[in-house]
Structure 1
Amino acid sequence: MSATDQREATLRNTMETATEMADIEAPTTQANPQLGSHTSSIFKKANRPVTLKFENVVYKVKPARKQGFSLLKPKKQKSDESEKIILKGVTGIVFPGEVLAMLGPSGSGKTTLLTALGGRLGGHLGGTITYNAKPFSNAMKRNTGFVTQDDILYPHLTVTETLVFTALLRLPRTLTKQEKINQAEAVITQLGLTKCKNSIIGGVHLRGISGGERKRVSIGQEMLINPSLLFLDEPTSGLDSTTAQRIVSTLWELSKGGRTIVMTIHQPSSRLFYLFHKVLLLCEGNPLYFGKGSDAMSYFSSVGFSPSVAMNPSDFLLDLANGITGDDSQADPATVKESLVCAFKTNLLESLKRELHELNDDDVASSGVDHKQFKRWAIPWWEQFSVLLKRGLKQRKYESFSGLKVGQVLAVALLTGALWWKSTDLQDQVGLLFFSSSFWGFFPLFQAIFTFPAEKMMLHKERSSGMYKLSSFFMARTVGDLPMELVLPTVFIIITYWMAGLKSTALNFFSALSVILLCVLVCQGLGLAIGAFVMDQKSATTLGSVIMLSFLLAGGFYVRHVPNFISWIKYISIGQYTYKLLLESQYKVGETYPCSSGSGVCLVEDHPAIKKAGLGQHVILSVVALLVMLVGYRLLAYVALMRVGRTK
């Protein structure tokens, strides 16, 4: 038998085996208890079938500039070299009830294309992408599910809490709260999550549910809205073959309800490969194949590429995408790729474009999403705020009320009280007030700096899905942090104030407490603004340290004669105003203290550490300055956050 005959026999055996496996492995809800019954709420028909068409999709990005310093003058880049082409004219069509799998090696453009089709990719995107012959819109966004490769979930919430909060935010206002909860419970049952429904999600340093269960929770979040169009980025990544089979079987069953499903997948097993209705093979942004999964092997055989041994079709396709033919010839990978690109354009592209153009757009558009049916937001602003606040409190109560944070404040309070125990020396008391203003400037600032960088991925995911307004998230996040932000400094002042022997009247005590709480809120706002602008924890921490040290040095305690060219810092220094108001809470003009002068007593306002602050002067101005900062820093944080939360 010749080598050609052997390859043909191998291909024939591979196809026969694959056909048998497709017949055996095609899932049914009765056969798979994980999927429940055909009457399941998440397996019912989609609201509106969506036909996805994309033609000649091109995406370009500007390459990142090289870091570093060079004395040599950099060469000017040519105009055609200023951008890197990620997608190079990709065309395809996916009908309701079909599953499209996009295959290709790492860096081939799979995720970029998926993001573009999901309406989440900006920049230099060319070509035409339509959904029932219409461009992407807010109505289509509300009818689309998008599951990212990384499961972005809150680690301290349980499976039930995660899905219930998502249901309360995403399901329309026409449903009651109980109906939304029932829908979440139905999703839990049908995705086989009943056993872990009360388990926390977990994270890197927190044990929770398994990887497969996390992926099903992510899919469940999108299935709550009964989407007509579902995108998934590597849904089987990091999962064992059995769990991967369950995930894809679930998606296959969902497609039977008239949904259009598009996913990227790296290296599926042969039994998964034949569950895909259509396959798109990419290589360096170029399409090498688009068509039925069952026809892929015969197509590549027809253009001269057949496996030398029986093998997994997806393995063979990935080899080809890497320029590896699998036979004994030492063909150049670049030549193989070029040959496959040319073969696609010659044999498949024209018929594919003809199919796109022959499809009657009027018929497709008539079955499209009813834009009048969808409002811009599923629920009103106040409900968004309420749900987000409850979710945030549940998630962060473990970190806000952590023993480490509470213990840290208690330890500093007790140490401070012990060092200044019943102090009667004016200089020591002034030092205590300055230390208090400094400590409660740094502590809340560095707590707040990490707020938005840690929430960046979750915010981007949920805002891209149109779950809520940025303002409702911002208000819920900042209000939710207030209890611990105000409780800890209150405890600190209660301990330190009385141990240090400051003035024991209620007016003096509550004046000092009010000043510290105002300082905490202002510094928290500054921390939020720094974190929102920088969005990198290390860089934000460095910037925050520099700013607070500048305020500290210009506060009037360490340096009394600040040069004019840098004295302006005191006018924006939080510590300067806090320190002055703390002095006002304890001392009044005309009070005296024991000193070494001839009379043995001196005026408090003449003390060197107090005179610079100007006792009894500009008190209202200091309060107004802190209130302006309180509002201003939060506005800056919100404006900076708009950049992160912005979607198409």
Structure 2
Amino acid sequence: MERPRRSRYFLACAFASKIRQIEKHVSICDDEDGGFLRKKKINFLGSGFAEGSTMTFHHISYRVHLKTGHYGFRKVVKKDILTDVSGVMKPGLNAILGPTGCGKSSLLDILATRKNPKGLTGDILINGFPLPPNFKCISGYVVQIGTHFIRGVSGGERKRTSIGLELITHPTVLFLDEPTTGLDASTANAVLLLLKKMALQGRTIIFSIHQPRYSIYKLFDTLTLLAAGRLLYHGPCDNALPYFKGLGYLCEPYNNPADFFLDIINEDSTAVGMSKMTIITIPIDEDNDMEDTDSIALGLAIRFTRSAYYKQMMADLDALSSDDKKKTTAYKGIPYTTPFLHQLKWVSKRTFKNLIGNPQNSTAQICIATFLGLIVGSVFAGVKNDATGIQNRVGALFFLTTNQCLNSITTVELFITEKRIFIHEYISGYYRVSAYFFSKILADMVPMRTLPGIILTSLNYFLIGFKPTAVAFFTMMITVILVAYAASSMSLAIATGQNVTSVANLIINICFVFMIVFSGLLVNITTISPWLLWLKYFSIPRYGLNALQVNEFTGLKFCSELEQGVNVTCIAPSPFTICTGEEYLKMQGIDMTFLGMVKNYVALICMTIIFLSIAYLKLRFIKKYT
């Protein structure tokens, strides 16, 4: 537990140092005032970096389809999340404020192109032009890091580390979803002061926030106030209180403006009680099922469209819009600045470091494989070439194949635990899906399936007393490893894309139960009804057990012959009347030819490739938008 905690602490310190270096080396050069927007050019480490970007959004509306009712009687209901929202986000701190469920997080995700485009209408521009295909690569989106079980560092350190991670790519626009949530007042203030410093350096910072304290509120440059998906105010933060005062809403002395705005929306203050009749002037039908909050939001939204601030905002939008403005193309494919092999190299390094630094998954599996190898080797130690030797050999081989299948369940968490991190890094343009997938296969699945197979074979082979030849030893080792690969690939194919491991574990266990039944030990394959016999072709343990039995039993003799040539063992009362390994294989219906042996390996390799392909396709087409 200490190693991950220390590593996360050092990571937080490293990124905090990185932020300080950025602040130290960034210089600001003011360009000529263009009459509308004062652009700032940032020089990073003495080189030209970027101009402060201005993001505009025009008539954004977002509608989703929700299913309601019980199963079998469900109906689809349309719900408007955002309705005709427009605005200008200039370099600085741009806050999106509103009550819970007002659509502020949805607006943030839409601007960051992380929302499902289905049901989305409107235009999003950057410096007057449609968003480029690589917008996700030149912008940053801060998410939480850490897990529920291993905190490692405090909330404030995690938040600052998350910001530092996004600053590595030097984004011109930085998005944050409620950066103060879960932080105490002092830490939240420190995080916003850090963002303010970056905003003063010409960076465009857009974030949603629920109910900030006044010391945080006064840092905002631009305020966007939403309620029920409608725009109630958008403009300079300093002008928000005068605007609402002009509507008849007077903020009481020593009242937090952010709380005051929420009180207006929720009709929860003295000022609201005195002024609400002058605000809601729209006619509302008696049969209208609109909630009170929605009606207030609609009334305030209509009043805003008639204000001078709205007219100025629309003039600013027209000034920033280029003549060739087209429908936004924010959701195109992500171009990459680095090749596949470069991404594979670094993501594999990270995966391998995480594997080494997480002893719960790496060291524990190796220790368990060693312990099982010693126990099984002791139980089946010293097999003989008689009737009991047949039973003991088959039991040991069956255990090896079954154990490799059941141990593969640990791969279920390979893509589940990092699902949120993968989605964030992928849509941010860090790497390709293929680079992430193969890094997990090469740096995690392969070593954690190969090492236990080598350990089990090395310990069991000589303790049990299998056929004493080098070819047979390495054949068994390769077979055990291939069984682990195939079983792990099947687990990945089932678990990829899932949010929790419980359902995936249940499905995988059911599959392995049927596979073990058709492995050839619990029931003789030759006695199974033809209409069920086809299931044997889907049994991973069957291919592994067949290959191991052919490898071990070929050439073995289990009968002691006297000088007179009479076979005493075979004529003695025994449940096994088998004299050679070939007779046993024939009785089990196992093809002992070279071609039959090759078929087992081809089947295991093909199943591995097919299951990995399914896992990759599920990862490739996983839902990546919120």
Seen in structure 2, the aligned counterparts of structure 1 residues 610 and 118 have a Cα distance that, compared at 3 Å, is farther
1:57 and 2:91 aligned: no
Residue aligning to 2:614: 636
Residue aligning to 1:138: 133
- 1:496 shift after superposition: 1.7
- 1:537 shift after superposition: 1.1
Between the aligned partners of 1:613 and 1:67, the Cα distance in structure 2 is 52
Q: Provide the secondary structure at the position in 2 that maps to 1:569.
A: helix
8 Å contact from structure 2 (residues 234, 310) kept in 1: no
8 Å contact from structure 1 (residues 283, 321) kept in 2: yes
1:528 and 2:492 aligned: yes
Seen in structure 2, the aligned counterparts of structure 1 residues 341 and 376 have a Cα distance that, compared at 3 Å, is closer
TM-score where L is the length of structure 1: 0.78
Map of 1:291-310 to 2, 5 A cutoff?
Answer: 291-310=235-254
8 Å contact from structure 1 (residues 59, 88) kept in 2: yes
Map of 1:314-329 to 2, 5 A cutoff?
Answer: 314-327=258-271, 329=273
| Paired AA for residue 588 in structure 1 | T
Please, what is the CA RMSD of the aligned residues? 2.8
**What do the CA deviations read for 1:101-140 (whole angstroms, capped 9, x no partner)?**
0011121111111010011112211111111222222332
1:40 and 2:25 aligned: yes
Residue aligning to 2:4: none
**What do the CA deviations read for 1:323-380 (whole angstroms, capped 9, x no partner)?**
3243484976555434323322332675155324441534999xxxxxxxx9932322
8 Å contact from structure 2 (residues 67, 77) kept in 1: no
Structure 1 stretch displaced more, 573-582 or 286-295: 286-295
Which of the residues 436, 460, 472 maps onto 1:473? Answer: 436
TM-score where L is the length of structure 2: 0.81
8 Å contact from structure 2 (residues 489, 608) kept in 1: yes
**What do the CA deviations read for 1:168-214 (whole angstroms, capped 9, x no partner)?**
xxxxxxxxxxxxxxxxxxxxxxxxxxxxxxxxxxx433352221121
Between the aligned partners of 2:122 and 2:322, the Cα distance in structure 1 is 20
Residue aligning to 1:577: 543
Seen in structure 2, the aligned counterparts of structure 1 residues 432 and 248 have a Cα distance that, compared at 3 Å, is same
Between the aligned partners of 1:475 and 1:453, the Cα distance in structure 2 is 16
- 1:402 shift after superposition: 4.4
1:212 and 2:176 aligned: no
1:115 and 2:109 aligned: yes
Residue aligning to 2:282: none
Between the aligned partners of 1:209 and 1:536, the Cα distance in structure 2 is 25
1:541 and 2:505 aligned: yes
- 1:51 shift after superposition: 1.7
Residue aligning to 1:198: none
Residue aligning to 2:552: 586
Map of 1:168-567 to 2, 5 A cutoff?
Answer: 203-327=147-271, 329=273, 333=293, 335-347=295-307, 350-352=310-312, 354-362=314-322, 376-399=335-358, 402-424=362-384, 425=388, 426-444=390-408, 446-481=409-444, 482-560=446-524, 561-567=527-533
Between the aligned partners of 1:334 and 1:639, the Cα distance in structure 2 is 43
Which of the residues 81, 90, 97 maps onto 1:103? Answer: 97
- 1:465 shift after superposition: 0.8
Residue aligning to 1:622: 600
Between the aligned partners of 1:443 and 1:349, the Cα distance in structure 2 is 64
Between the aligned partners of 1:562 and 1:114, the Cα distance in structure 2 is 60
Seen in structure 2, the aligned counterparts of structure 1 residues 42 and 459 have a Cα distance that, compared at 3 Å, is farther
**What stretches of structure 2 of length at least 5 have no aligned partner?**
1-18, 29-41, 44-48, 277-291, 326-332, 561-567
- 1:242 shift after superposition: 2.2
Structure 1 stretch displaced more, 392-401 or 510-519: 392-401
Seen in structure 2, the aligned counterparts of structure 1 residues 264 and 348 have a Cα distance that, compared at 3 Å, is farther
8 Å contact from structure 2 (residues 493, 612) kept in 1: yes
8 Å contact from structure 1 (residues 452, 535) kept in 2: no
Seen in structure 2, the aligned counterparts of structure 1 residues 455 and 335 have a Cα distance that, compared at 3 Å, is closer
Between the aligned partners of 1:583 and 1:571, the Cα distance in structure 2 is 17
**What do the CA deviations read for 1:47-69 (whole angstroms, capped 9, x no partner)?**
1332211121111112145554x
Which of the residues 570, 582, 589 maps onto 1:605? Answer: 582
Structure 1 stretch displaced more, 243-252 or 576-585: 243-252
8 Å contact from structure 1 (residues 470, 645) kept in 2: no
8 Å contact from structure 2 (residues 82, 230) kept in 1: yes
Between the aligned partners of 2:425 and 2:240, the Cα distance in structure 1 is 37
| Paired AA for residue 249 in structure 2 | F
- 1:462 shift after superposition: 0.5
**What stretches of structure 1 of length at least 5 have no aligned partner?**
1-33, 154-202, 366-373
| Paired AA for residue 54 in structure 1 | F
Between the aligned partners of 1:601 and 1:554, the Cα distance in structure 2 is 23
Q: Provide the secondary structure at the position in 2 that maps to 1:263.
A: strand
Between the aligned partners of 1:42 and 1:434, the Cα distance in structure 2 is 69
Q: Provide the secondary structure at the position in 2 that maps to 1:62.
A: strand
Seen in structure 2, the aligned counterparts of structure 1 residues 596 and 65 have a Cα distance that, compared at 3 Å, is farther
Structure 1 stretch displaced more, 614-623 or 283-292: 614-623
Between the aligned partners of 2:426 and 2:21, the Cα distance in structure 1 is 31
Residue aligning to 2:145: 152
Seen in structure 2, the aligned counterparts of structure 1 residues 431 and 121 have a Cα distance that, compared at 3 Å, is same
Between the aligned partners of 2:307 and 2:126, the Cα distance in structure 1 is 26
Residue aligning to 1:82: 77
- 1:99 shift after superposition: 1.8
Seen in structure 2, the aligned counterparts of structure 1 residues 388 and 449 have a Cα distance that, compared at 3 Å, is same
8 Å contact from structure 2 (residues 102, 229) kept in 1: yes
Between the aligned partners of 1:212 and 1:335, the Cα distance in structure 2 is 38
- 1:589 shift after superposition: 6.0
Seen in structure 2, the aligned counterparts of structure 1 residues 609 and 101 have a Cα distance that, compared at 3 Å, is farther
Between the aligned partners of 2:193 and 2:377, the Cα distance in structure 1 is 64
Q: Provide the secondary structure at the position in 2 that maps to 1:83.
A: strand
8 Å contact from structure 1 (residues 58, 125) kept in 2: yes
8 Å contact from structure 1 (residues 42, 226) kept in 2: no
**What do the CA deviations read for 1:136-161 (whole angstroms, capped 9, x no partner)?**
2233222111112xx135xxxxxxxx
| Paired AA for residue 613 in structure 1 | I
Higher RCO (CA 8 Å, separation ≥ 6 residues): 1
**What do the CA deviations read for 1:243-290 (whole angstroms, capped 9, x no partner)?**
222221222221222222111111111121121111111112111111
8 Å contact from structure 2 (residues 213, 258) kept in 1: yes
Between the aligned partners of 1:612 and 1:455, the Cα distance in structure 2 is 45
Seen in structure 2, the aligned counterparts of structure 1 residues 572 and 602 have a Cα distance that, compared at 3 Å, is same
Between the aligned partners of 2:619 and 2:366, the Cα distance in structure 1 is 29
8 Å contact from structure 1 (residues 533, 641) kept in 2: yes
8 Å contact from structure 1 (residues 459, 645) kept in 2: no
Q: Provide the secondary structure at the position in 2 that maps to 1:115.
A: helix
Between the aligned partners of 1:328 and 1:479, the Cα distance in structure 2 is 62
| Paired AA for residue 463 in structure 2 | M
Between the aligned partners of 2:133 and 2:357, the Cα distance in structure 1 is 36
8 Å contact from structure 1 (residues 142, 466) kept in 2: yes
Seen in structure 2, the aligned counterparts of structure 1 residues 492 and 65 have a Cα distance that, compared at 3 Å, is farther
| Paired AA for residue 388 in structure 1 | V
| Paired AA for residue 106 in structure 2 | T
Between the aligned partners of 1:87 and 1:42, the Cα distance in structure 2 is 38
Structure 1 stretch displaced more, 575-584 or 343-352: 343-352
- 1:42 shift after superposition: 8.8
